[in-house]
Structure 1
Amino acid sequence: MTVISVETGKTVQNIKIGRYPRGIAITKDSRYAYVAEMGGSGVHRINLQDFSKTFIPVGSNPRALVLSPDEKTLYVTLNISGKVAAWDLEASKLIKTVSTGKAARSLDISDDGSALFVVNFGSGTMSKVRASDMKLIQTIKVCNEPIGITFDAPSQNTWVACYGGSIKVLSN
């Protein structure tokens, strides 16, 4: 991973992450960046002041990341196993995983932090997970190979991008 100054356009720091860095989540105060190491077994927490890093062993093949609104929990898709992991950042431990579907790819969280929305590339589905206990609430077929997802707080809609070029908008 390369940190580049937006003012100068020059490299500030190179940070070794692994072969396939994927999802990134940054804290609201810009103090930490969390970077998934797809093909590896965890996430790297990078201190954006001194560029030190800490390894978080969330599970195999992490892909996408999202922080809870209070930034106490990191949610991670585990692509190959088709699961989502919840990691307690304060206690530094795994809370729970839940199976969502084949090839869990992208995820987002509701603005109040109550629900996670996950697209499962291999299953062609979108899953809704209750964040408080990591219980799978709903899984619906959305399209072949859903690849991206965004929860829109004002409308309470979930937008799903499909690999074939379509977008689905789902009402919650």
Structure 2
Amino acid sequence: MGPELARDVAAECQVEVTREQLAAIEAGWDLTRRAALLDPPPASIEALGVLRRQGVRIGVLSNTHALELRSWEESPLVALVDVVAFSHEIGACKPHPLAYARVLARLGVAAGSAAYVGDGSSDELVGARSAGFGLVVLADEAASRWAPDDLPRLQAQADASVGSLTEIAELLDS
């Protein structure tokens, strides 16, 4: 959560937040994002490596702002993906069709021959379906962390669900 979002949430809740508190929120958010980018789960790294060795082109589409990506270039994920499309750079957020179109264009792939894998946040699965992705996959493990009560609804939006990224290669082979 960046300072703007923290400020907006505080205003909506009618809570006063000091400049120092906003700075602490930003620092905590930065540490969390840094850790996620610099130390992703080893199983995810392995799964992406398997997909790369199989010749699968991999794109990342993320609703972000510049503060969240200060550590992106240092991430081991950079070497494992072909293209990135960050919303603050491409001018569109999920679930807007333009966001999906931009990542597909960068990959040079038609939507119908592409698979979209996500945790269901930002209505991304509905957006991927509307954008014409041939396969829409819910990453259950990630979804269960942010929306455990919403899991059945999210699963219904997907063609398939996987417990972790390690199952993606098998799913694509079937």
TM-score by length of 2: 0.28
Greater fraction strand: 1
Larger radius of gyration: 2
Greater fraction helix: 2
- Name the structure, 1 or 2, with higher relative contact order (CA <8 Å, separation 6+): 2
